[in-house]
Structure 1
Amino acid sequence: MSDRTPNPLQRLRYICGGTLPESMSGWVLNDLTGPGAARRYLLRLMIPLLVVLSLFLLVPGPLWMGGAMMALIFLPLMFFAIALTYVYRRYRLAKHGLDPALADVAARSRAALERDAYERSHGRG
């Protein structure tokens, strides 16, 4: 796996759901599982969404009415986006030909450390 980074056109295609060449698998793996992966995922979803939803502010009437309409769409969407982050990351890993189990490597290693600490403290290790 190479650490090549995508050019701006490839990055835009990746953000829109496309796949990158196999030579960029290392970058994809870091993007989906590395530090800040959840933050990047939410920002990539939130920024274009807020741009589109800001059109509700152009609706005639009080400003709070447009804000309320934005919130009616934005809040449930963000709730489901946060809830499905893990599923999305596994899907993107599989789409790029990587093992979907890599999405939870950090959680599994953390659980193994906790299990070892528990077993040592209770005389099993």
Structure 2
Amino acid sequence: MTTQNKVRRPNPVQWIGYACGRKLPDSMQDWVRKDLIGDWAIPRHMVRSMVPFIPIFAAFFLFPGPVWLRGSMVLLGLFLALFFAAAYMEQNRRRRLERHGLSPDLENPKKVARYHAEKAAYEKAHPHTF
């Protein structure tokens, strides 16, 4: 594989910045596209969205009290963060695509093909009668 065809990946510092909302260099657009609309985009989004909360979760362990109580604070924070990450996943994906100069309407090709197949099957089973 030549270096021209190889998809550039962000280094760890760039990835942490990307997870916190920073824009990656234009040379990494292919990686960003794959990251945001690839086959594993949803699990990647959920992990990526937890990165900014790590300092908050760590700070919870500095509170006084028993370990189980501090762990419960972290767990509650984690559940809330995951809930909001899932709730705003689509808006976040569109914003990241736009920020990186890509169309916010990009979708996973497999998801689009599955949608069209399901729509065709439905229309075949339930034809319009006007």
TM-score range, shorter chain: 0.7 to 0.9
TM-score, length-scaled by structure 1? 0.77
Aligned to 1:33: 37
User: How many angstroms apart in 2 are the aligned matches of 1:29 and 1:3?
Assistant: 14
2:74 to 60, 70, 76: 70
User: How many angstroms apart in 2 are the aligned matches of 1:12 and 1:72?
Assistant: 23
User: How many angstroms apart in 2 are the aligned matches of 1:21 and 1:58?
Assistant: 37
SS in 2 for 1:18: coil
Aligned to 2:119: 115
Identity, % of aligned positions: 37
Aligned to 2:21: 17
Contact 1:89/1:103 (CA < 8 Å) preserved in 2? no
- Structure 1 range deviating more: 6-15 or 84-93: 6-15
Matches within 5 A, 1:52-91: 52-91=56-95
- Structure 1 range deviating more: 52-61 or 89-98: 52-61
2:9 to 6, 11, 14: 6
Q: Kindly state the Cα deviation for residue 51 of structure 1 after the two structures are TM-superposed.
A: 5.3
Aligned to 1:101: 105
TM-score, length-scaled by structure 2? 0.75
- Structure 1 range deviating more: 37-46 or 57-66: 57-66
Unaligned runs of 5+ in 2: none
Residues 51-73 of structure 1 deviation map (CA, whole Å, 9 limit, x = unaligned): 54133233332222212322342
- Structure 1 range deviating more: 46-55 or 34-43: 46-55
SS in 2 for 1:100: coil
Unaligned runs of 5+ in 1: none
- Structure 1 range deviating more: 46-55 or 79-88: 46-55
RMSD (Å) for aligned C-alpha atoms: 2.6
